[in-house]
Amino acid sequence: MRVLMPVPDRDFDVTEVAVPWRLLTDAGHDVVFATERAGTRPACDPRLLAAPDPQFARGPRVLSARGTADDDTHAFLVQDGNYLSARWPGDAYLFGRRFCEMLEAAERA
């Protein structure tokens, strides 16, 4: 199935796009990106891809763990019929899996 994934032109969190894209393509779907303005190549927030500033020490990541590839314990979604929304990059794995389930159910119907 072809899936249209709307993304902002710039400054989005790459996790919110990459994780659902990976899960959808692994499930055999064709993902097409749509930006705000036609012909625009989307660009995530460059700070998310840059190396951390050495003057800051990164704290324990376990404190901010939320939704991983293997654990949805702290992930949160809003679903109402065909509407599905995630609120945090840590919800991306659960969002991707749930969206794949919705697509599979639609194909069977």
* Residues of the chain predicted below pLDDT 50: none
3-state class of 58 per DSSP? coil
Residue keyed to tokens 């159910």: 105
Per residue in 36-45, pLDDT tens? 999 999 999 9
What mean pLDDT, rounded, does the chain reach? Answer: 88
Predicted confidence at residue 64, as pLDDT, reads: 57
Q: What is the pTM of this model?
A: 0.77
Query: Crossing angle, helix 92-108 and helix 14-26, to 10 degrees?
Result: 40
Predicted confidence at residue 63, as pLDDT, reads: 56
Per residue in 85-103, pLDDT tens? 998 888 999 999 999 999 9
